[in-house]
């Protein structure tokens, strides 16, 4: 499998950041404490710009509104893998404050433990008609978009990652859209991949530091996970300016 398309985003310098925060338009930013999404706003904006990254060749706009991404509605099969509860929290940055942003569509998609994406034709596989590990949620009043999925596998040329897209509702015009990727600590990935069903494959070759897309800001997109039940859970905080 080839690596994803060329990355479109990059890490902003401090000078560029200051210019961006004073300009019109929107940017993906982050850096809140979980308490900030308990109906409160922050005093001064603690936000740090997150780099946009490539959508890649495997985004399919399936329009599946669901929280549990593990099931394939085509046949009811459930994808095996380490359980992962992922919550993306979206806020609006305005007047130097970060406020929860409701009604935003958050899409998530990633490969399975074998490195395959659903509903695509690739030189190494054909999953057209399958719809596993894809879906979207609409943020609630606290800006939360929760998902239940699995720890993603790996494929040639890429480190382990999850794609996500934050966008305005379809009926909103003018709309907005921002796309990026989430990454995982290499040490944690090693431990997960030593368990079934990941251990059935040969060891991965690519790690974070060797991935050219990760090197363009991936350290700002690391997903911090904690043990949760039989798997892991983590939250990722993002905010939009000018929406």
Report the CATH number that the domain containing residue 171 is assigned in CATH: 2.60.130.10
Q: Answer yes or no: is 228 within a domain.
A: yes
Confidence of residue 4 (pLDDT cuts 50, 70, 90): low
Q: Answer yes or no: is 3 within a domain.
A: no
Percentage, residues of the chain above pLDDT 90: 65
Query: What is the domain range of residue 171?
Result: 14-241
pTM for this model (two decimals): 0.83
Burial class (CB in 10 A: 0-12, 13-18, 19+), 166: buried
Burial class (CB in 10 A: 0-12, 13-18, 19+), 34: exposed
- Number of structural domains the chain divides into: 1
Residue that wins the pLDDT comparison between 52 and 174: 52
Q: Answer yes or no: is 4 within a domain.
A: no
Q: Answer yes or no: is 207 within a domain.
A: yes
- Please report which helix (H) or strand (E) contains residue 192, including its range: helix 186-193
Could you give the 3-state DSSP secondary structure of residue 219?
A: helix
Q: Answer yes or no: is 115 within a domain.
A: yes
Residue that wins the pLDDT comparison between 57 and 3: 57
**pLDDT for 173 beyond 90:** no
Q: Answer yes or no: is 1 within a domain.
A: no
- Average pLDDT of the residues in 193-204: 96
Angle ∠(209,213,204) on CA atoms, nearest 5: 50
Q: Answer yes or no: is 180 within a domain.
A: yes
Q: Answer yes or no: is 68 within a domain.
A: yes
């Amino acid at each position: 499998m080839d690596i994803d398309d060329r990355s479109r985003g990059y890490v902003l310098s401090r000078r560029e950041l200051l210019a961006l925060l004073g300009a019109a338009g929107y940017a993906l930013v982050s850096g809140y404490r979980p308490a900030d999404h308990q109906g409160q706003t922050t005093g001064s904006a603690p936000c740090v710009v997150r780099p946009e990254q490539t959508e890649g060749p495997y985004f399919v706009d399936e329009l599946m509104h669901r929280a549990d991404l593990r099931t394939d509605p085509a046949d009811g099969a459930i994808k095996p893998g380490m359980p992962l509860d992922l919550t993306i929290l979206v806020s609006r940055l305005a007047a130097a404050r970060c406020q929860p942003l409701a009604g935003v569509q958050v899409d998530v998609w990633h490969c399975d433990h074998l490195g395959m994406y659903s509903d695509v034709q690739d030189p190494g596989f054909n999953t057209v008609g399958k719809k596993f590990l894809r879906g979207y949620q609409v943020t609630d009043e606290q800006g939360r978009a929760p998902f239940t999925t699995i720890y993603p596998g790996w494929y040639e040329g890429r480190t382990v990652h999850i794609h996500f897209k934050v966008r305005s509702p379809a009926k909103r015009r003018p709309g907005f859209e921002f796309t990026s990727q989430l990454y995982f600590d290499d040490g944690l990935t090693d431990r997960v991949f030593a368990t079934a069903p990941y251990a059935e494959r040969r060891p991965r070759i690519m790690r974070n530091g060797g991935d050219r897309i990760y090197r363009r800001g991936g350290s700002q997109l690391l997903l911090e996970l904690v043990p949760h039940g039989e798997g892991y859970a983590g939250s990722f905080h993002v905010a939009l300016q000018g929406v």
